[in-house]
Amino acid sequence: MSSPSLQRRLGLGDAVFIGLGSMIGAGVFAAFGPAAAAAGSGLLIGLGVAAVVAFGNATSTAQLAAVHPTSGGVYAYGRAELGPWWGYVAGWGFVIGKIASCAAMALTFAAYAAPAGWERPVAIAAVVALATVNWFGVTRTAQLTRIIVVFVLLTLAVAVAAGTATPDAAGWLTPATLWSGGWYGILQSAGLLFFAFAGYARIATMGEEVRAPATTIPRAIVLAFGGALVVYALIGLTVLSTLGPDGTAASTEPVAAAAAASGWVWAEPVVRVGAAAASLGALLALIAGISRTSYAMAREGDLPRLLDAVHPRWHVPHRADAAIAAVVVVLVALIDLRGAIGFSSFGVLLYYLVANIAAFRQRGGARRYPRVLQIIGAAGCVVLVSTLPWESVVAGVLVALAGVAYRMLRLRFTRAA
């Protein structure tokens, strides 16, 4: 009897919503404050830089996904195009980076939804609940993600309308505010805002569950990326014009603050509920994507074989889901939000660096986009890594080296056996 396998149940709309659920998450409610602190109104330039780098990464991922419609995303693509070690580095970077992102999303949700002092227990409960949703099938994940994304988009529409009804802050867009942080500040803001767009990777990691993947995945990646870019541009303009660069930088909840400034007493609570929902949507999509990459790595022996299992009824990698949820629960209990975001950034940029190199190597009929986009994507990943806090870089390098050491030991023991 053949073992259970993943099933192709997702259409184009499902894939687009899963990507949007990953991109329009907690970042849209929290990232503009730190970005404004780094670059003032120059965060708008930073958003453009982040979008260019992300578009290079998105097109590389789409081009690879069309040729390799399998679970695992760039882990599988790197193995096929560059070799097992490249694939492993990408997969390890994705898993460690996005596990940290899961912790960040859970903690952000709790910051909006939990009573004071109950943030960590509520965050842990959210992780367990959403891992349970993933356990009962990818179609449940897609259905819940659609509901969350629609609600969050309506919430953001309320925020934009409230901002439009508020007089503009004095001098919010001048040469002085645009260049207040210099080029380094703009690049730092780009690094902070880049991860708003990284959700399209979740579409690629689910390649064995999408119908007609060779056409569906590239189209879904580009559509989700374009939709997220429009949303982030509108929100960035709204918070800056309402609060000004200094007010945006001083706020930990700039979208809620912009809504409150309108005088619409009901707008701020609505935005807070939307922020909590967005965090849940991103967390749900993240867990699904990480478990598929972990399953693909376990299938090749690059993670423990115990994770190479698909539930016979629900057709999901249930052991990988459970393992990811357990690790995220531990992180939520031990680390803070800032540490989770910085560590996540390193792993994600490492992942996309491999994606751009792999796509650059493709030839003939596999090519869909000009090589200059892969060069832009790869160079952007290197530049944005250089803007991260040094603590995040050091921690990322150490964990990446630990992953390399694990694979070297496994290969040595395998050969000895």
For 111-139, write each residue's pLDDT tens digit.
778 887 888 999 999 999 888 877 775 55
Q: Label each residue of 363-389 as H, E or C.
A: CHHHCCCCHHHHHHHHHHHHHHHHCCC
Mean per-residue pLDDT for 209-216? 75
Q: What DSSP state is assigned to residue 131?
A: H
pLDDT bracket for residue 7 (50, 70, 90): low
Kindly report, residue by residue over 286-341, the tens digit of the pLDDT.
Answer: 887 788 888 888 888 888 888 888 777 767 788 888 898 899 999 898 877 667 77
Residue 91, helix vs strand vs coil: helix
Q: Are 396 and 347 in contact (CB under 8 A)?
A: yes
Backbone phi and psi for residue 266, each to the nearest 5 degrees, phi listed first: -90, -15
pLDDT bracket for residue 357 (50, 70, 90): very high
pLDDT at 1: 45
Residue with tokens 């390799």: 68
Kindly report, residue by residue over 81-99, the tens digit of the pLDDT.
Answer: 999 999 999 989 988 888 8
Residue 5, helix vs strand vs coil: coil
Radius of gyration of the CA atoms of the chain, in A: 20
Higher pLDDT, 191 or 134: 191
**Residue 255, token pair as written in the block:** 């979208």
The C-alpha atoms of residue 35 and residue 252 are separated, in whole angstroms, by 11
Under the phi-then-psi rule, with left for phi > 0, alpha for psi from -120 to 50, and beta for the rest, what region is 2?
beta
Is the C-alpha dihedral spanning 262, 263, 265, 268 positive or negative? positive
Q: Are 170 and 178 in contact (CB under 8 A)?
A: no
List, in sequence order, every residue forming a beta bridge with 10; answer none if it has no partner.
210
pLDDT bracket for residue 355 (50, 70, 90): very high
Q: Over 90: is that where the pLDDT of 22 sits? A: no
Which of 140-144, 190-194, 229-233 has the least mean pLDDT?
140-144
* DSSP-assigned letters across all residues of 52-109: HHHHHHHHHHHHHHHH--SBTTHHHHHHHHT-HHHHHHHHHHHHHHHHHHHHHHHHHH
Q: Are 166 and 242 in contact (CB under 8 A)?
A: yes
Specify the CATH architecture of the domain 12-416.
Up-down Bundle (1.20)
Q: Are 97 and 293 in contact (CB under 8 A)?
A: no
Helix, strand, coil share (%) of the chain residues, nearest 5: 80, 0, 20
Residue with tokens 């689910």: 206
User: Which percentage of the chain shows pLDDT scores above 90?
Assistant: 22
Residue 68, helix vs strand vs coil: coil
Domain ranges of the chain: 12-416
Mean per-residue pLDDT for 195-200? 68
User: On the CB side of 244, how many CA atoms lie within 13 Å of its CA?
Assistant: 11
Please state, rounded to an integer, the average pLDDT across all residues of the chain.
Answer: 83
pLDDT bracket for residue 207 (50, 70, 90): low
pLDDT at 316: 75
User: On the CB side of 250, how many CA atoms lie within 13 Å of its CA?
Assistant: 7
